[in-house]
Amino acid sequence: MKRVGKQTIIFENKPKIIANSAIVGPKEFAGPLKDFFDYRIIDDKWNEDSFEKAERKMLEFAICTAIRRSKKKLKNIDMLIAGDLLNQIITSSYAARKIDTMYLGIYNACSTFTEALAIGSVLIDGEYLNNVACATGSHFSTAERQYRYPLELGNQRTPASQRTVTGAGCSILSLEGEGPKITMATMGKVIDYGIKDANNMGAAMAPAAMNTLLAHFEDTSTSPKDYDLILTGDLGNLGSELLKIIMNNHGVDISKNHNDCGKLIYSDIQRTVQGGSGSGCSASVFNSYIIKKLNSGEYNKILFAATGALLSTVSTQQGDSIPAIAHALVIER
Amino acid sequence: MINAASKEVKEKYDKLVNEMTPKSPHLKNIIMAFIFGGLVCVLGQAIYDTSSTLFPNLSSTELGSVQSIVLIFITALLTGLGIFDKIGNIAGAGTMIPITGFANAVSSTAIEFKKEGIIFGLSSKMYFVAGPVIVNGITASVIVGIIYYLIDLIF
Amino acid sequence: MIETLILYLKVFAVGGAICIIGQILIDFTKLTSGKILVIFLMAGIVLESFGLFQPLKDFAMAGVTVPITGFGSVLAKGAIEAVKDKGLLGALLGGTTAAAGGIAAATAFAYLFAMLFNSKTK
């Protein structure tokens, strides 16, 4: 069996990430990762008549650019696996209309990107498919109106809140070709520590990240020092601090090599409170900054665990707590 | 609830989260709320006084309506121009508690949902945020009226 | 002149103080803005029903009528006065009639400006 422990899958054929593409909005482009993003949109609506259509266009753009960079023909891309934050994942499914291939629409909130990579890797490792495109995206203005309040409402942001990233990213997985290899995937369980504050996603997701990371270390008999980087998805500043503390309580110290996409994408002066979030956050940071560092050899082996808060406005209004999930991947050069 | 943490773990984690979560700058927020709230009320008073000189035949109740209407107009305009949310971010309760907060909640929602159409977007979602004020206010006023009516009957 | 100045100072101080209560509710409780607005509105209705709003209004004018509590008092006062004139029918007519200006203005201006402007990313 290609599995170790309870939750970790080993990819013997080592699917490769042969091409990437990321595109971000203006605020993200003004942040510290400016030099790593290849594409940005100058106007948040990107000449479309709604923010939803702009989000869709960004995802389409990320997918098409990644396919072009992989030097594969569209007919050789066997499948698109995509997800986003909007109700009924309309961004992904509408974007998939333009991509003439099999399509899996998936949703695990902000952890959707690693979920897509994990599913894609399984399909490739099992030699069912040759080339798979994995993509996710999100948009500040569409998420804000769906999950929170109208943009023009004059309310104050709470001190634990995060900003949904305007951005999209796509990775092309393939058996042949050059690129970082996905060697393992640890799929997460849904974890709920009873956090009810929908403005404190970092706190809701940190236990899920902990659960998946601990399961991974146990399954594979590795420890944090075996990795150059342990990258979480969008815990933000507060969630990252919480994760370090609760990991320490379990005797695992990740403080030396942990980082977080939500922390990386904005600088403190951008007034995003705790950092970035959203399914576009890990997708855009991974497909630009992280992949460039992997290709340049700065990182050789990373553990990438995107986290997702699986709430909806209905569950929040009914006073339910926030379940969360994290899926981790080992990516090696 | 297999993957839900035990009550003990939850309580411990909740305590940790409360310790770690940064607090909003309370003193600054309170001072800003006082200053902006005071200024909005002074503006209201100025509108009241000006209209009482301009239209001397209006009753004090009608002047009160004029005061609200002008403040609502200013808020709706600033909301449309994309300025009000910036003020509100600084002023907090200072612009939320006055009638400006109500007007902003109505107009920001109307603008936001325009994309879904005039009828099912703008019109039907307009009171999505501020609706509770109208619903509870009108219902409570009816109840108060009925109670006063019953008191009158009995005594 | 001095009288006007004193009135404006009272308006500023009382209005500001009411907003401080609101800010404390925002910062120290998990109440959402909608709930806080309703609490203030209900406070206005209750004060008016017990005849306690008028003295406050005489003292601080716009300081108590501009906050949403004032809207509550208008609703309650309208209903109470209409009951005296029209009986039980007044309970249904009074509140909304008295608050008509505010409701109509909020609706019509929101409609107007929604047609003219679009929301912007922050």
Looking at residue B135, what is its pLDDT?
96
Q: How far are the Cα atoms of A21, A83, A188, A307 from residue A104, in angstroms, in the given order?
A: 19, 9, 19, 20
Give the Cα separation of B136 and A76 in Å (integer). 60
Cβ–Cβ gap A195/B29 under 8 Å: no
Across the interface, of C26, C33, C119, the residue whose CB is closest to A151 is C119
* Verdict on whether the full-model pTM lies above 0.90: yes
Give the Cα separation of A317 and A286 in Å (integer). 33
Looking at residue B4, what is its pLDDT?
65
Cβ burial of A80 (10 Å; 0-12, 13-18, 19+) is buried
Q: How many CB pairs under 8 A join B and C?
A: 281
Nearest Cα of chain A lies from the Cα of B8 at a distance, in angstroms, of: 10
Average pLDDT over residues B10-15: 92
Cβ–Cβ gap A200/B109 under 8 Å: no
Interface check for C116 against chain A (CB to CB < 8 A): the answer is no
Containing structural domain, residue C57: 2-116
Q: How many CB pairs under 8 A join A and C?
A: 19
Ranges of chain C whose pLDDT falls below 50: none
Quick check: is C122 in a domain?
no
Mean pLDDT for chain A?
Answer: 95
Using a CB-CB cut-off of 8 Å, the residues of chain B touching C5 are none
State the ipTM, two decimals: 0.94
CA of residue A101 relative to chain centroid, distance: 23
Interface check for B16 against chain C (CB to CB < 8 A): the answer is no
Nearest Cα of chain C lies from the Cα of B61 at a distance, in angstroms, of: 8
Using a CB-CB cut-off of 8 Å, the residues of chain A touching C28 are none
Looking at residue A110, what is its pLDDT?
94
Across the interface, of A49, A160, A246, the residue whose CB is closest to B21 is A160
Across the interface, of B5, B20, B109, the residue whose CB is closest to A193 is B5
Hey, where are the domains in chain B? 25-129
Using a CB-CB cut-off of 8 Å, the residues of chain A touching C120 are 151-152
Using a CB-CB cut-off of 8 Å, the residues of chain C touching B129 are 33-34
Test mutation, C19, C46, C84, chain B, max B CBs within 10 A:
C19
Pairing type for strands A8-10 and A181-186 reads antiparallel
Residues 6+ apart with CB under 8 A from A38: A21, A22, A23, A65, A288
Q: List, in order of start, the domains of chain A with CATH numbers.
A: 3-174 (3.40.47.40), 181-332 (3.40.47.40)
pLDDT in tens, B33-75: 999 999 999 999 999 999 999 999 999 999 999 999 999 999 9
What are the helix (H) ranges across A221-268?
A: 236-249, 261-265
Cβ–Cβ gap B5/A241 under 8 Å: no
Give the Cα separation of A115 and B21 in Å (integer). 29
Q: Per residue, what are the HEC states of A298-315?
A: CCCEEEEEEEEECCCHHH
Cβ burial of C116 (10 Å; 0-12, 13-18, 19+) is exposed
Across the interface, of A51, A151, A197, the residue whose CB is closest to C122 is A151
Within the 42-101 window of chain C, which residues sit less than 8 Å (CB to CB) from chain A? none
Cβ–Cβ gap B137/C95 under 8 Å: yes
Using a CB-CB cut-off of 8 Å, the residues of chain A touching B113 are 145, 150
Cβ–Cβ gap C121/A150 under 8 Å: no
The CA angle B118-B122-B123, to the nearest 5 degrees, is 85
Asked if the model's pLDDT at residue B1 lies above 50, the reply is no
Residue that has been written with the tokens 């560092």 in this structure:
A293
Using a CB-CB cut-off of 8 Å, the residues of chain C touching B144 are 45, 48-49, 76, 79-80, 91, 95
Using a CB-CB cut-off of 8 Å, the residues of chain C touching B126 are 107, 110-111, 114
Asked if the model's pLDDT at residue B2 lies above 60, the reply is no
Nearest Cα of chain C lies from the Cα of A151 at a distance, in angstroms, of: 6
Test mutation, B8, B10, B17, chain A, max A CBs within 10 A:
B17
Residues 6+ apart with CB under 8 A from C15: B37, B38, B40, B41, B42, B44, B98, C60, C62, C63, C64, C66, C67
Contacting chains of A (3 CB pairs or more, <8 Å) are B, C
pLDDT in tens, A187-222: 999 999 999 999 999 999 999 999 999 999 999 999
Pairing type for strands A301-309 and A324-332 reads antiparallel
Looking at residue B3, what is its pLDDT?
61
Number of domains in chain C: 1
Test mutation, C113, C115, C116, chain B, max B CBs within 10 A:
C113
Helix (H) or strand (E) holding A229: strand A229-232
Interface check for C121 against chain A (CB to CB < 8 A): the answer is yes
Ranges of chain A whose pLDDT falls below 50: none
